[in-house]
Structure 1
């Protein structure tokens, strides 16, 4: 692998800038910079320089011909549950037969089904399966990830998942942010004793997570039938004592009270937001909390979609993520999420691309190193096939438009 190289013959270099690219919100979310007929120089895996073809340097190292394809930053997936033991296709059939997410969960399915599977798999096998899923996502253009626990719901199993995430980051060299989601559901044995499990989270899990540096964030599923606002706030208070920043699953099925809590405690993000009213949009607009929409989950569950058009027109910026998980979004391909964002949420292709690149970088606090093409940032890049344009990506849906995914280096076969 060569980590110093030149890419030339680029038809359009997207999201390039001579100065730091801000979080895109409101009308600005539809702006994508384009540098036509361009080149890009990478040195030791870092973007060194770029410009128009007539200014290209005489370069004696490896040269990749983009063949008049477009080059853009690699995607960043800001919400995944990638580390799970096995798939849940039986529940897919239950859903076809008319059972709701809540009904499946009440029967011991859903999250609790994945909990049983995690308990019975070795850490090594869990790592190997998760590695394969991660590398498939990479092949579809994703170069950085957020990964959550939440399929353990016990100290032993939650720590198992978080240790696998840590190992994925260390062995892959990818930028991976880890989120502790022990408050994803309640174990069956604590169904009538919520405080018993919450105390386990606070007094058993959080101290070890902090001691072993296993998580960057704490997430809570603040939703009717899961964690109430009062229970959510209790876990937020404890997590902040261990210097874990907050993310919240909220407003997936109801106006569940998570948004005021997220704003009160300065959460990094609120995720899902399929149910969102004007007051909640206004509150988010006047805060620093980043909204993350998960259109693949809404599609899969036949739920309403996040009202992206109204949010953007109100001045908000938006992130799109996969919500990759075995029950309600079993697809890590952000290309499909981009298509859904455009088709179902009426986002423009430019808005959707910003949502999975620079805005997603801000949502994971990686905006200094990823998310746009700037000198000094990591060379995480996608090179398209010849003839591709930005509008074609959401339009063609499953079209295989990616020629190369570059994560700081290119192989001998690529140049």
Structure 2
């Protein structure tokens, strides 16, 4: 007996058409061979049977923006922010990103793998089957390579799909505080060429006091010559020009966008740049959410992501992110679930992820709920009953 046969699906979200009621999905050799109404299903016997018993099925979540490879603990900073300290205040004192850099540099590669793998296993248990993982907590040549090697190893050894992003331009490290031009030269001349074989993308944190538009353009130009796509931290804390730069470069994505305008949205849409929104960071920083409905209306591809990181968005599950996008940002449940699945896949250049249609890899989540709307409705409960990754049941069990 080979393959899987899921029956009794109350609501099937395919992201290729309307939600299908009373649905069936058949899987063979890791790929979907049928997804549709039970009434129209061809003979599909001879497969391992999973009776969904009135549960909903959706594509596996695609988390398109994470900073998963790190060591250290920044819970004290969280408490300080609650007491009134700002992100900028903490960073100016050597905290924030740079405190994680210190802890991450000190950790061995094996320690970082163990920490990251544990996070990814929890994400998988919460329904995430595809993850973008950034470096950015090394900020020197060998440490950045260490982070990228860990991220690639996670994709090889765990049942998730991983794309990696070089984020050496996450901040200027302490030892280059008075020599930022020298750090940019190091990034372009040494770090990028070494990181390129381990990376799919390059990212730059474009923000006042971090990297400006001209610096970012120079870094992205060098990355493009090495074959890396662009992903841009843009308009998070201020309107600093990152979105327009992303449009100019036809980047794969512009991320955060809390301070994006209609002009930014129009430019992103025209250039085909995905808008990756991270409501967990805005929630943690108690700042305004990105204008998700405006970006959606503009025609941009909108994606949702956890931005999982130790300082400003320690979310490992997409469910609360979807809920924040609905309750605080203003997306509809249907829009938010699309953005957390197909939208993330589009931003990462995947034609076959975030879908449940014949021919695509079988990445699916069986929810312990009759409707996907329960995800934003019940964000405090892990509603994941089963996870199928590349046609293999990796979370949950089959009742016999």
Which range, TM-score by smaller chain? over 0.9
Higher relative contact order (CA 8 A, sep 6+): 1
Q: For residues 16 and 250 of structure 1, do their structure 2 counterparts lie closer, same or farther at Cα, with a shift above 3 Å needed?
A: closer
- CA–CA distance in structure 2, aligned partners of residues 324 and 49 of structure 1: 34
1:302 positional shift: 0.5
1:316 positional shift: 2.7
1:383 aligns with 2:369: no
Gaps of 5+ in 1: 18-31
1:49 aligns with 2:31: no
Q: Which residue of 2 aligns with 1:403?
A: 385
Match of 1:127 among 102, 106, 113: 113
Could you state the TM-score of these two structures normalised by the residue count of structure 1?
0.92
The answer to whether the Cα contact below 8 Å between 2:255 and 2:275 also exists between their aligned partners in 1 is: yes
Q: Which residue of 2 aligns with 1:206?
A: 192
1:310 aligns with 2:294: yes
- CA–CA distance in structure 2, aligned partners of residues 10 and 94 of structure 1: 47
The answer to whether the Cα contact below 8 Å between 2:32 and 2:359 also exists between their aligned partners in 1 is: yes
Gaps of 5+ in 2: none
SS at the partner of 2:393?
coil
Q: Which residue of 1 aligns with 2:217?
A: 233
Structural mapping, 1:128-277, within 5 Å: 128-210=114-196, 213-277=197-261
Q: Which moved more, 1:127-136 or 1:47-56?
A: 47-56
Structural mapping, 1:334-349, within 5 Å: 334-349=318-333
The answer to whether the Cα contact below 8 Å between 2:272 and 2:300 also exists between their aligned partners in 1 is: no
1:214 positional shift: 0.4
- CA–CA distance in structure 2, aligned partners of residues 55 and 260 of structure 1: 48
- CA–CA distance in structure 2, aligned partners of residues 132 and 343 of structure 1: 29
Equivalent residues, number: 396
1:54 positional shift: 2.7
1:364 aligns with 2:348: yes
Match of 1:374 among 344, 351, 357: 357
Match of 1:98 among 63, 71, 84: 84
1:140 positional shift: 0.5
1:3 positional shift: 6.4
Once the two structures are superposed, residues 339-373 of structure 1 have per-residue CA deviations (whole angstroms, 9 ceiling, x without a partner) of 00000011100000110111111101112x21111
- CA–CA distance in structure 2, aligned partners of residues 311 and 126 of structure 1: 36
Once the two structures are superposed, residues 189-230 of structure 1 have per-residue CA deviations (whole angstroms, 9 ceiling, x without a partner) of 2112111111111111112123xx200000000100100111
Match of 1:293 among 260, 277, 280: 277
1:36 aligns with 2:21: yes
